[in-house]
Amino acid sequence: MVSTAERTTIEAAIQAIDDFTGNAPEDQQLVAAKCRALIHGYDARWRNAGYVPELVERTLLADLYNPDTKGKSRTFQVAGKLDVRARYSGRKVLFDHKSTSQDITDPNGPYWRQLVVEGQVDHYMLLEWMHGEKCDDAVWDVLRKPAISPKKITKAEIKAVVSLGDYYDLRVCEADKQTFIAGGERETLAMYEARLRHDCTKERPEWYFARRSVPRMDAEILDYARDLWQHSQDMLWSRQQNRLPPRNSGACLLYGSPCTFLGVCSGHDTIDSDKWKLKENVHPELPLLENQKELLTNSRIRCWQTCRRMEYYKYVLGVERADAEEREALYFGHLWHIALEAWWSALLPKEADNDPSPVDSEPVCTN
């Protein structure tokens, strides 16, 4: 029997998914079906892991300092949004949610090796430290995105669906039965969701879900603070040159598809054409804040490290495609994040203050 608390986490997450997708087109409804199935698997895998959240989705701002001289930047601030801060066996732990298509079952595989040097945890731990909160540990909370899609089902499966109305513990609705009576051969969204839910909950949970502790020493956080300060100085120097920052041709097809700005960089478009518009929020992961273009987030630093020209377009000019459509991978990541926020928020102790969009901007220490 499912407890009230467990129903709350699942129901909260699914309600958040459904509220966001609403009357979305079919391709986005497929993404919603994936996320609904996966949140059941996530809940089954981690509901009894022992972490008690203290806050969920908290935005932090802090002044930027040179950790060696204690000099304060007159231009930049550090910003970020923490996914979850939780308690575990008396320790304070930061969670960072990630999704990937790579294998996460091998603890020594390339995916986990790359995360060892990932700066995101250092960025968040530094922000917490600046606000007087020393975290003991961090956890990468990783989802591997499904590799299965709606499939053509066998004649035997069709017969069972029509006669018995059962499919992977799903009671198939009459409308879906009629689909097969009329000659349909492929899973409906509800049937696909049921099969994926069964796979990630009962068959292969370790294929989909993994966590890895990420200890960080104070010295490592300070090294990151030095890197952050150096990046800020490089950015200022670049601005003073009165010319466009250099391009990185190695980043033009970095994630298997063309960079948004490839047409501009290759001379087939100009950044002031009607194909581009100013972004309302330069940092979409944050609430709308003042001085957006002077905030250093982990995403911005990674962009700077990847291609300085791209960082200039995205964060200094603050432009985006006027006709941009959200790619499925980005849409999936955003919707999964929404589901996890609702799931974790349902676990917050009743006395916890977790305004959905708080901003902590006054650090209590800067050393």
Same-domain pairing of 67 and 210 = yes
- In total, how many domains does the chain have? 3
Q: Using alpha carbons only, what angle is made at residue 35 by residues 329 and 114, rounded to the nearest 5 degrees?
A: 50
Same-domain pairing of 180 and 210 = no
What pLDDT, on the 0 to 100 scale, is given for residue 2? 44
* Cα–Cα dist 165/162, whole Å: 6
Report CA-CA distances (Å) from 307 to 70, 119, 244, 246: 29, 17, 12, 8
* Cα–Cα dist 20/16, whole Å: 6
What pLDDT, on the 0 to 100 scale, is given for residue 363? 53
64 in Cβ contact with 73 (< 8 Å): yes
What pLDDT, on the 0 to 100 scale, is given for residue 215? 84
Same-domain pairing of 16 and 121 = yes
What pLDDT, on the 0 to 100 scale, is given for residue 358? 54
Same-domain pairing of 32 and 113 = yes
Indicate whether 149 belongs to any domain: no
What pLDDT, on the 0 to 100 scale, is given for residue 218? 92
Is-above-0.85 flag for pTM?
A: yes
In this structure, how many other beta carbons lie within 10 angstroms of the beta carbon of residue 225? 21
Same-domain pairing of 115 and 16 = yes
What pLDDT, on the 0 to 100 scale, is given for residue 119? 87
Same-domain pairing of 266 and 194 = no
DSSP H or E run through 159: helix 155-164
Same-domain pairing of 74 and 178 = no
* Cα–Cα dist 83/94, whole Å: 8
Kindly compute the dihedral angle of the four CA atoms of residues 299, 304, 310, 315, in this order, to the nearest 10 degrees. Answer: 60
Residues in the chain with pLDDT values less than 70: 1-7, 324-326, 351-367
- Across-strand partners of 320? 277
Indicate whether 110 belongs to any domain: yes
What pLDDT, on the 0 to 100 scale, is given for residue 115? 87
Would you give the end-to-end CA distance of the chain in angstroms?
51
Backbone angles phi, psi at 96, to 5 degrees: -130, 125
What pLDDT, on the 0 to 100 scale, is given for residue 354? 53
What pLDDT, on the 0 to 100 scale, is given for residue 254? 82
* Cα–Cα dist 222/366, whole Å: 12
DSSP H or E run through 100: strand 91-100
Q: Which two tokens stand for residue 304?
A: 């700077």
The range of the structural domain enclosing residue 249 comes to 241-321
- Rounded to an integer, what is the distance from CA 359 to the centroid of its chain? 19
